[in-house]
Structure 1
Amino acid sequence: MVFLDVELTKKVIVSPDKFKGLNISFRKYLTIQLFSKVGRHKASMKYGYFLSPIYINHADDGRTNQFTNEYLFKVSLNCTTMKPCKGEILIGTIYKVMENGIFLKCGPIQNIFLSEKKMKDYKFSIDEQPIFVNMNRESSMQEGTKVRFKVFDLKWIESEKEFHVLATIEANYLGPMSS
């Protein structure tokens, strides 16, 4: 996973009515508004997933909207992001098992699919719950299992503002991790 420290420019709208009774400095209020705005943005194709704003570099003097009485500030800040890359090794947790494969989560990445075609020697089975079993290695993968996998491919989905990742365990030292 590539972690980046990126500089972003955001516009923040501040309503004086909401700020009045808070008993905090204006800069602190602006910071809170900015961090909540960044928090609502899940990810971007260029930078990956937004994890945490770090600090504000600069905020302009702001402009007043005559009709709403709100102030608009242009703010520059640094933010930590994380972007998945093809070929890297990650660890995810299985949250759904189906006949054609499993779905994993890894940090902010919620759509990781490991196809049964990329699970050499594992066979689907349903006993009490759906599971993939490897009889040769006496190992299994079911909901809650941690899996070391390799990013086989990834695709940016603009409408969902997130990456969809295809995984494989077809290499040495990949697969379910013993607890």
Structure 2
Amino acid sequence: MFCEVELLRDVAVLAENLDRNGVISQRSIITRLLEDLVKEKSSKDHGYFLAVTSLKNIGKGEVVDESGDIFFPVVFNCRTFLPSKGEILQGVVHHIFSHGVFLRCGPIKYAFLSARKMPNYHYVAGENPVFLSDELAKIENDIVVRFVVLGVRWIEKRRLVKKEFVMLASLVGDSLGPISLSGSDELDL
């Protein structure tokens, strides 16, 4: 689900960004804010940070004695993406295994659709494995699939996965399953 949230961040700007009059430009502060959000990527409470939609306030800067950095409190609105249980989404198949498939859904790289949650689909092994339904619908790599979210979990850090959401998906329900023959306009963060 897409949300619009108001956030507050302390943005650190290097003292070397001061102009001749000892002023830091608003552009330097905003640039640093955007760089920080790209590094942060997502949060457990708000989901993935997609876009800063408005800047509400930049507070008075405070100098930190040791580093010389100047910290500005910045209040802004941000569009986020946080899926929820029961929501209908679309994802692109990127890995197929005998026990299910992995989908990408916007910034979410790990949405697992178990073979047990694909009624009337059967695994067909081979060089390019697929799941084939009784009605001959095919789930293969790069196919867009409409699914329902069974669950969402936040992972702070586990092996290569850092600050990510993972989802469990299902095709149990009406109008769920493959909807096109090639990939979508997915967002890769």
> Unpaired segments of 5 or more residues in structure 2?
182-189
User: Root-mean-square deviation (CA), in Å?
Assistant: 1.7
1:103 lines up with 2:102 in the alignment: yes
Q: Distance in 1 between matches of 2:48 and 2:172?
A: 27
> How far off its partner does 1:84 sit?
0.3
Q: 1:148 aligns with which of 125, 146, 149?
A: 146
Counterpart contact for 2:17–2:28, Cα < 8 Å = no
Q: Distance in 2 between matches of 1:173 and 1:66?
A: 60
Residue in 1 that maps onto 2:132: 133
> How far off its partner does 1:168 sit?
0.4
Q: Name the TM-score, length of structure 2 as normaliser.
A: 0.85
Q: Distance in 2 between matches of 1:123 and 1:100?
A: 10
Q: Name the TM-score, length of structure 1 as normaliser.
A: 0.90
> How far off its partner does 1:18 sit?
4.7
Identity within the alignment, %: 33
Q: Distance in 2 between matches of 1:80 and 1:145?
A: 27
Counterpart contact for 1:13–1:71, Cα < 8 Å = yes
Q: Which amino acid aligns with 1:45?
A: K
> How far off its partner does 1:88 sit?
1.1
Counterpart contact for 1:114–1:166, Cα < 8 Å = yes
1:173 lines up with 2:161 in the alignment: no
Three-state SS of the structure 2 residue aligned to 1:161 is strand
* 1:115-141, Cα deviation, whole Å (9 max, x unpaired): 00001111111233121111x211111
Q: Which amino acid aligns with 1:176?
A: P
Equivalenced residues, count: 174
Q: Distance in 2 between matches of 1:148 and 1:19?
A: 51
Counterpart contact for 2:98–2:125, Cα < 8 Å = no
Counterpart contact for 1:19–1:29, Cα < 8 Å = no
> How far off its partner does 1:109 sit?
1.1
Residue in 1 that maps onto 2:43: 44
Three-state SS of the structure 2 residue aligned to 1:30 is helix
Three-state SS of the structure 1 residue aligned to 2:4 is strand
> How far off its partner does 1:178 sit?
3.6
* 1:50-109, Cα deviation, whole Å (9 max, x unpaired): 111122211221111233222111111111111101111111000000111000011111
> Unpaired segments of 5 or more residues in structure 1?
none
Q: Distance in 1 between matches of 2:62 and 2:18?
A: 16
Q: Distance in 2 between matches of 1:85 and 1:66?
A: 44
